[in-house]
Amino acid sequence: MTSLTGWRRKRTSFDAGLSYREETMSLKKALFATVLAGFAFTSAASACEVTLRSSDTHPDGYPTVAAVEAMGETLKAETNGRLCIEVFHSKQLGEEKDTIEQTQFGVIDMNRVSLGPFNNIIEETQIPSLPYIFRSTEHMHKVMDGPVGQEILDAFTAHDLIGLAFYDGGSRSFYNNQKPIHSMDDLKGMKFRVMQSDLFVDMVSAVGANATPMPYGEVYSSIQTGVIDGAENNWPSYESSGHHEVAKYYTLDQHLIVPEVLVMSKMSWDKLSADDQAAVRKAAAASVPVMRDLWAKREKVSEAKVRAQGSQIITDIDKTPFIEAMKPVYEKYVTSEKLKSMVQRIQATH
């Protein structure tokens, strides 16, 4: 864990927005802001003039955490040590849904999150969150690196956020503590946790199971106490969260290849000079290949680890019935011409 002791902050431009925030935020939010502003007045014992605080739910050493740290190194070098990034990993700043709000309010400067928790607020983020929309990780990269990806990043601006980059999130599959799932029939009536997104609730209902949206940090104990039978996630999260210890049946149906996103608070962004904004964008872009490399390696390490620790991996799964059953989710969520065009362009990308 990062020690906050001895931190010192040199410049106060990022603090200027505080009175505005206090006026406009609810009492609860203002209180939280005040607590965090305490961090802001101190900065790492280094030459950094501004230290951007970035949130991540994952533990130290997880690819997303390491990638944002790598971005921080690039940014520091690009700005001759003026701009730095401090990653608050392991949910130190809270669960994703809450940290997203705090980022919109400028309390947190940056946030690395899944696209899932944005689904209910930014409709464009629903598109890469659709089940089986991507044929492979390569397909996802091609789309997210291209015009559709850019349109989705741009959509964050209207929600007080700046979309900086997409990161890999592997493919997500169901795991549970009851029985090996070999077909859709096996899922009937089972209870799975999903991220807090209506789309994912409908996706799970579509295959005959029950969805319980809840924060990531509650999943482990909810499986243990029988509130849910399981959840769904990628290899590294299944492993690093310890969920494999309490839910050993993992079925590779790979229903989602949902990317992760790195966003910045628009309030923090607006306080940067145009040159510094460009440096942030450049450093974020440079962190993408770093992340992809770390991710590919970590997927293998995590898979090997959960197998060695006794997870039963079901690979002989026919995805066709899952793909068919989940189609109504497209009908429900892909309604406007804009979203339809995105789906068509994704499907036409080879």
Interface mask (CB under 6 A) for ligand BDP, residues 82-111, using x and -?
A: --------------x---------------
The answer to whether 168 contacts ligand BDP (rule: CB under 6 A) is no
Rounded CA gap, 258 and 256, in Å? Answer: 6
Tell whether residue 43 is a contact of ligand BDP (CB under 6 A).
no
- Smaller CB separation from ligand BDP, 167 or 269: 167
- The residues, any chain, with a CB within 8 Å of residue 218's CB and separated by 6 or more, are 193
Judged by CB under 6 A, the residue of 68, 184, 195, 283 near ligand BDP is 195
Considering only residues 118 to 157 of the shown chain, the ones binding ligand BDP according to CB under 6 A are none
Apex 74 CA angle, 73 and 78, nearest 5 = 120
- What is the chain's Cα-based Rg? 20
C-beta closer to ligand BDP: residue 78 or 168: 168
Q: How far is the CB of 193 from ligand BDP (least distance, A)?
A: 8
User: Among residue numbers 44 through 73, which ones bind ligand BDP (CB under 6 A)?
Assistant: 57
- C-alpha of 192 from chain center: 19
**Pairing label, strands 249-256, 172-176:** antiparallel
Nearer to ligand BDP, 113 or 184 (CB): 113
In angstroms, what is the minimal distance from the CB of 195 to ligand BDP?
5
| Binding positions for ligand BDP, 246-275, rule CB under 6 A | 260
Interface with ligand BDP by CB under 6 A: which range of 232-240, 265-273, 276-284, 289-297? 232-240
Buried-state track 63-83, b at ≥16 Cβ within 10 A, e below 16: bbbbbbbbbbebbbebbeebb
In this structure, the strands spanning 172-176 and 50-55 are unpaired
Structure tokens at 348: 């036409």
Q: Cα–Cα distances in Å, from 82 out to 43, 108, 227, 293?
A: 12, 19, 48, 28
Closest CB to ligand BDP among residues 172, 271: 172
Would you state the structure tokens that stand for residue 146, as one six-digit string? 């291209």
Distance of closest approach, residue 159 Cβ to ligand BDP, in angstroms: 18
Least Cβ distance, residue 233 to ligand BDP (angstroms): 5
Which listed residue (175, 200, 216, 330) binds ligand BDP by CB under 6 A?
A: 216
Could you tell me how many residues of this chain bind ligand BDP (CB under 6 A)?
11
Taking alpha carbons only, the member of 198, 89, 180, 165 closest to residue 190 is 180
Nearest approach in angstroms of CB 204 to ligand BDP is 13
Residue at 185: amino acid letter = D
CA dist 38 and 173 (Å) reads 40
- Record the tokens describing residue 342, joined without a space: 């995105």
Q: Which residues bind ligand BDP (CB under 6 A)?
A: 57, 96, 113-114, 169, 195, 216, 233-234, 237, 260
